[in-house]
Structure 1
Amino acid sequence: MPGPSSASRSSAETAVLVTQVVDEIARRLMPDTVLPPDDGADTAGETRRRALQRLQVLAGVKQALRRLEDQAAHVAAASGAGYPEIGQALNMSRQGARRRWPGLITSSTCHRTPQPTPRSL
């Protein structure tokens, strides 16, 4: 996708762009429905039904985003990131990240600084 890199965007700008994209996705995922007659009959019922369908679609989008966050957190941990970095990326505390992904950071995912080997004389 052309445009400025995400590193040059603020969190607020990113949020606006993501909101626009998710809104478009939700509109496209809404089931096609027959529009009610144009006589104004039951517009409140139709509005309620459409709003509930939109909520259902957005709940699915939210689940997909959580799965993508989970995948990214696992890749970050496997690449040596710790809970403080993962939490910071999600604008949450280290403890929040640890509660969300308990056991994500283990001794096998931590990349420790190699210690110099002692030389024998």
Structure 2
Amino acid sequence: MSDAQCADLTTAVEQLAWTAVREMLQLQPDAGPGSDAPDADLRQMWLAALTSLLAIRDSADQLAASAALSAAQYGADYPAIGDAAGMTRQGARRKWPGLAGLSDERQRKLTWWNRRGDQFVQCVRAVLMASEETSEQAPRLAALRGRLDEIEQTSPAQRLDVFDMALVDAHAVAVGAPSPAERTAARAKGLLAALTADAYAAMNSHSSLVIREDLACGTDDCASEPIVELWHPDFGHGPVSACREHAIEALGQPDIRIVAACRPDVALSVFAEAYGEG
């Protein structure tokens, strides 16, 4: 930034701080550091100005972190972020860790959304229509309805951010209650669980939901490689790993759903085969 731009920015921040001072102290619009007021009143104004300026600094730090995150998502690396922040690459990495690779993650997310977004939205609609709004489920369903509205109303550039939260809410709804007795409704809920598992695997994020390589199939004496994790109310505190054969077999039972997958599209292919659609 040029010296003139920096000076203009400083003036704008100062004006913002004094606007906050007048609101905090309920002063007249013309009250300020140059006003003819008693020393005690001016002292109170300057203390309020200090409070306001430090709050502005904290807000600016939060906005700077958000800007660094967004820049990384759009392809900026640490040298570029450090240069923009007036620090070294190492300094930027210490200040804002975890930004490396976000551009690749965003691209994976965009690729998945372009391939499966319409299917995801249609599946969410089907689940919402078929779900019973019990006292436990009502908040989850309301949250998911809100996410769906946001997806449909936001611009494509903002849609991916909304999609992150929609996945969380969709996952909660998909595994949060027993499957409906009606087969079509049960299929929609199972498909939504498989779609969220596929999305997390495709994006290579939320590692706690992605199967680990050292796990084995949860069926006794099965040496086959596990490819998904299954959830059922009777399983206890965690999901159970399953190979393809045992996953397909298990999905024939009520309330069992896929909640994680070891790689993209596995969850959907297992689900399709279990429902005779493969």
So what's the TM-score if we normalise by structure 2? 0.32
Residues 49-91 of structure 1: CA deviation (Å, up to 9, x unaligned): 2111100011111111111111110011011111110010011
- Which residue identity does 2:90 align to in structure 1? Q
Residues 20-59 of structure 1: CA deviation (Å, up to 9, x unaligned): 1111111111122488xxxx99x33333221111000111
The structure richer in helix per residue is 2
Match of residue 81, structure 1, among 76, 81, 91: 76
Asked which structure has the greater RCO (Cα within 8 Å, sep 6+), the reply is 1
Residue 56 (structure 1) aligns with: 51
Residue 7 (structure 1) aligns with: none
- Give me the whole-angstrom Cα distance separating, in 2, the residues matched to 1:33 and 1:25: 15
Percent identity, aligned pairs only, is: 33
Residue 109 (structure 1) aligns with: 103
Q: Which stretches in structure 2 are left out of the alignment for 5+ residues?
A: 106-278
Match of residue 71, structure 1, among 63, 66, 70: 66
Is the 1:73–1:86 contact (alpha carbons within 8 Å) kept by the matching residues of 2?
yes
- Secondary structure of 2:87's aligned partner: coil
Residue 24 (structure 1) aligns with: 15
Q: Which stretches in structure 1 are left out of the alignment for 5+ residues?
A: 1-9, 112-121
- Which residue identity does 1:52 align to in structure 2? L
- The structure that has the greater radius of gyration is 2
Residue 217 (structure 2) aligns with: none
- Give me the whole-angstrom Cα distance separating, in 1, the residues matched to 2:52 and 2:91: 27
**1:13, CA displacement in angstroms?**
1.9
Residue 86 (structure 2) aligns with: 91
RMSD after superposition: 2.4
- Give me the whole-angstrom Cα distance separating, in 2, the residues matched to 1:28 and 1:44: 20
- Give me the whole-angstrom Cα distance separating, in 2, the residues matched to 1:80 and 1:96: 19
Residue 268 (structure 2) aligns with: none
**1:110, CA displacement in angstroms?**
4.8
- Give me the whole-angstrom Cα distance separating, in 2, the residues matched to 1:93 and 1:11: 20
- Secondary structure of 2:47's aligned partner: helix
- Give me the whole-angstrom Cα distance separating, in 2, the residues matched to 1:33 and 1:21: 20
The structure richer in strand per residue is 2
**Residue-pair matches, total:** 96
